[in-house]
Amino acid sequence: MDYQRRFVEAIERLKREQRYRSFANLERDAARFPLALWRPAGEEDAPREITVWCSNDYLGMGGHPEVIEASVAAARAHGAGAGGTRNISGTHHPIVTLERELADLHRKEAALVFTSGWISNLAGISTIASLLPDCLILSDALNHNSMIEGVRRSGCEKKIWRHNDVAHLEELLAAEPVERAKLIVFESLYSMDGDFAPVAEIVALAKRYGAMTYIDEVHAVGMYGPRGGGVAERDGQMDEIDVIEGTLAKGFGGLGGYIAGSAALIDAVRSYAPQFIFTSTLPPSVAAAASTAVRLLKASSAERERHQTMARMVKHALRAAGLPVHDNPSHIVPVIVGDAAKCRAASDLLLNRHGIYIQPINYPTVAKGTERLRITPTPRHNEAQVAALVEALVDVWRTLDLPFQEATIVPLRRPGAEAAQCVYPEMKKAAE
């Protein structure tokens, strides 16, 4: 057996299909986020300053001085690691505090922290469903890979409902006896198109047909709701949802994932999920940073408001320049390229020629023909950076002969120009 040949061939397959991923070697600058240093491959000692436009540290909380301070202080006080699994000496005070903070955020009896959001979905969905006799899982067609893996691992029967189609969900629910255990799993905000789930309608169906609800709020926690509790909080549905899953790695800027729910449910997952039991705990520094970010965002909406303003500003500016922005009501700004090779080329051009980093999103993350650049404005981007982004994208669109949506290109402010010259009222408002 030529083992190495197999791996080389596997990689060649991906390259042929334009699915091979290459990573940008970045050094984020906490104080100057979204600026970072980028080291082009093979040029290890020649870093270039670039602007990151695709970070999932949506609010820039990873660079918040109080969050950093909490992390450093906890590392100094308690050391670099947790020292074990939760059961074997790894249950440290900062992680217990974090779980209380998260339960409070979602107004649930309890919460359980995992090493990532991916693991929390795998563990949460599979454990909950497998503890229910003959459970049927009803899963939205566009659910994240971690949820699909959770459904698979549960070993339960599953039915997929068409994305955000509550009529289809109802059809599937109505076909089952009311007394059969059912778990509806869905996301509150789908991060590739940026569309919201009809949370209240799904909750209403769950109640009518006796189902449990499990919501992934990964792209919403910290960012929606008066205290950052997510879309369910914003929509007044948080108390109606049985299980809320979130990450500490996106809006909260750190690392880790969690579920929140009733005391009995959390205790059961704690006691049965191998993904929780047999792995070491997140270190105190990570837990303390997350607690601080959650606490800050419970008390302040300034970051959320500025985040939404920046997202609206970017969408508006891109549309004005005739760039094909996919319309949605959230903070996600997808710009459709529709071709894998050109999407990769657009991303490379942005980085090499313009110092702007936006990762290409290709199949299988999105459907073929809908390849895109996914832009994530943060409260820490400024108006000059928005103007530079639009100019760079227009140049890339022209270079690659990509289609514009309208012929006219509205002139944009140049970096460094006076705020008064701003052509977009929202930009003016957001300029600080």
Ligand X SMILES: *Cc1c(COP(=O)(O)O)cnc(C)c1O
By the criterion CB under 6 A, which residues form the site for ligand X? Answer: 116-118, 121, 144, 146, 187, 191, 216, 218-219, 247, 249, 257
Cα distances (Å, whole numbers) of residue 285 to 86, 87, 227, 288, 396: 16, 19, 23, 5, 41
Q: CA 198, 253, 142: angle at the middle one, nearest 5?
A: 30
Q: Which residue is nearest to ligand X (CB)?
A: 117
Q: Closest CB to ligand X among 328 and 382?
A: 328
User: What is the CB neighbour count within 10 angstroms for residue 65?
Assistant: 9
Q: Measured from the CB atom, is 246 or 388 closer to ligand X?
A: 246
369: left (phi over 0), alpha (psi -120 to 50) or beta: left
- Classify each residue of 180-210 as buried b or exposed e, where b means 16 or more C-beta atoms within 10 Å of its C-beta: bbbbbbbbbbbbbbbbbbbbeebbebbeebe
222 or 257: CB nearest ligand X: 257
Check whether the bond before 364 is cis (ω within 30° of 0): yes
* Contact predicate 28/63, CB 8 Å: yes
Smallest distance, ligand X to C-beta of residue 246, A = 9
Joined together, the tokens standing for residue 128 give 């909950």
**C-alpha distance from residue 140 to each of 42, 119, 168, 201, 320 (Å):** 43, 19, 10, 14, 34
Question: HSE of 381 in the Cβ direction (CA atoms, 13 Å)?
Answer: 30
Classify 287 as helix, strand or coil.
helix
Tokens matching residue 72: 């450093």
Return the structure tokens found at 406: 């309208």
Backbone angles phi, psi at 230, to 5 degrees: 110, -170
Cβ proximity to ligand X, 121 vs 285, nearer residue: 121
Structure tokens belonging to residue 309: 């303003």
Whether 15 is catalytic: no
Catalytic pick among 108, 250, 315, 342: 250
Q: Which is nearer to ligand X, 142 or 427 (CB)?
A: 142
Is the Cβ of residue 194 or residue 379 nearer to ligand X in the bound state? Answer: 194
Shortest reach from residue 259's CB to ligand X, in Å: 12
Please say whether the beta carbons of 102 and 260 come within 8 A.
yes
Which residue number, 237 or 247, has a Cβ lying nearer to ligand X? 247
In which region does residue 354 sit, left (phi positive, over 0), alpha (psi from -120 to 50) or beta (all else)?
A: alpha
Q: DSSP code of 225? A: S
Residues known to be catalytic: 250
